[in-house]
Each structure stands twice: as structure tokens, then as C-alpha cells.
A and B are shown apart, each in its own frame.
Chain A
Amino acid sequence: DGGITQSPKYLFRKEGQNVTLSCEQNLNHDAMYWYRQDPGQGLRLIYYSQIVNDFQKGDIAEGYSVSREKKESFPLTVTSAQKNPTAFYLCASTVGGSSSYNEQFFGPGTRLTVL
């Protein structure tokens, strides 16, 4: 079955450590996205990539970094510079281009807790 996988589902890290969240898709989608969700809030865009080897900052990119070396993979690194990293992180993808009617497919999410 095609879809998006995120790992791990739960992640704990000590303050001051960098951590990388995995996102893989086998939908052959060109565009991929990372969102952050805080309790009781909607999603906010961290980074997005429309094509391999290219990515842009979203609304809240500070303290995060990404790479897009392969079409199917878009890992997110939460660095120690991110002041409040505890949140639910969601990865999404969509078909090529950024048409306003293309459905976004979401992964199951990774819940990051900083101890």
C-alpha cells in the first residue's frame, strides 16, 4: 500500500541534543512538507520541498533543518537552537506542483518530548 511513514512514533530527547525525525513516502510525490502541532492548535508549516535537492523555509523554520536528497525521503532535524521543541510533528506529501486542489497526504506523526 502506498503511503507516508514517520518514525519513531514517540521520541524523547534531552535538552541541548539534536534529533532527526524520519519521513518516507512511496507515493511518488514531488512535494513534501513538515508541520508542527501544539496541543489544541492547528498545524504550522516548518519546511517544504517541491523537488529533490530543493527546500524552502515555512512559517516557523528557526531551530529546524531539513534535507531532500531523495524523492521519497524528507528528514527533519530538530536542533538545540529550537527553544520549545516538544510538539507533535507531521510530515505530508502531495503530487507535483502546488496546485490548489491537490490533496495532501499526511503521515501518522512523531510526538517529540524534550526532558
Chain B
Amino acid sequence: DAKTTQPNSMESNEEEPVHLPCNHSTISGTDYIHWYRQLPSQGPEYVIHGLTSNVNNRMASLAIAEDRKSSTLILHRATLRDAAVYYCILRGFNAGGTSYGKLTFGQGTILTVHP
């Protein structure tokens, strides 16, 4: 799996937007960009994913660079409940059953949200 690089930690104030960056310079053309987050002492939860175009859902937005070598997860208005570790993960397209859906987690970005 291609590697991703994220800052170790970021801080934000409540109600402000948060931009969490991820570099993935070795991404292949068929790799999807996934984001998961993990609250303390809980299992990770899916946030969003994308391939080439920017994506929006109820939790966040994903902005993907034109060359796909980087992406940014955007939380439009941070709340205290958004304090978590955010993981940026690349997942290859399953061709011929060679990809078994494994998620390769790095260390992620610890997001601290201040009241």
C-alpha cells in the first residue's frame, strides 16, 4: 500500500473550520483516499473517501489536489466531539481479488479542539 504522511498533531478552536492535510506522493491511479477517525478508547469510524473529485458528506469535506499527491480533510465547524485521531489511508482498487480490504493505518493526526 502506498504511504501517507500526516502531521502528528493539530489544534483548533470550537466552531472554527479545521483543515487536516495528508500527503500521498506515491499514490497510484486507482488508489482511493479514505479518512477514518478514532475517538479515545473507541474503534475507528469512517469519515469520508474519494478518488479524484472533491467530496462532501454530513461529517466533512474532502479536497483532493489535482495531481492527487495530497488531500485535505475539512471539518467546517469543529466541535469538542471532533477531538480524535484522524487517519488518512490509501486503498487500492480490488482487481482479481488481490486486495482484501485491509486498511493500513499510520499514526494519524491528533486533533485537539479548544472550547
| Contact residues on A (Cβ < 8 Å of other chain), bracket | 20 to 34
- CA distance in complex: A102, B49 (Å): 9
Query: Majority SS of interface residues in chain B?
Result: loop
| B106 interfacial contact with A, CB 8 Å | yes
Q: How far is the CA of A100 from the CA of B100 in the complex (A)?
A: 9
How many B residues face the partner with a CB closer than 8 A? 28
Query: Is B94 on the interface with A (CB-CB < 8 A)?
Result: yes
State whether B105 touches A92 (Cβ < 8 A): no
Q: Is there an interface contact between B108 and A42, defined as CB atoms closer than 8 Å?
A: yes
Chain B residues whose C-beta falls within 8 Å of the C-beta of A58 in the assembled complex: 102
- Please indicate the chain B residues that have their CB under 8 angstroms from the CB of A104 in the complex: 36, 44, 46, 101, 103
Interface residues of A (CB under 8 A from B): 4, 31, 33, 35, 40-45, 48, 50, 56, 58, 88, 90, 92, 94, 97-109, 111
Interface residues of B (CB under 8 A from A): 30-32, 36, 41-46, 49, 51, 87, 91-94, 97, 99-108
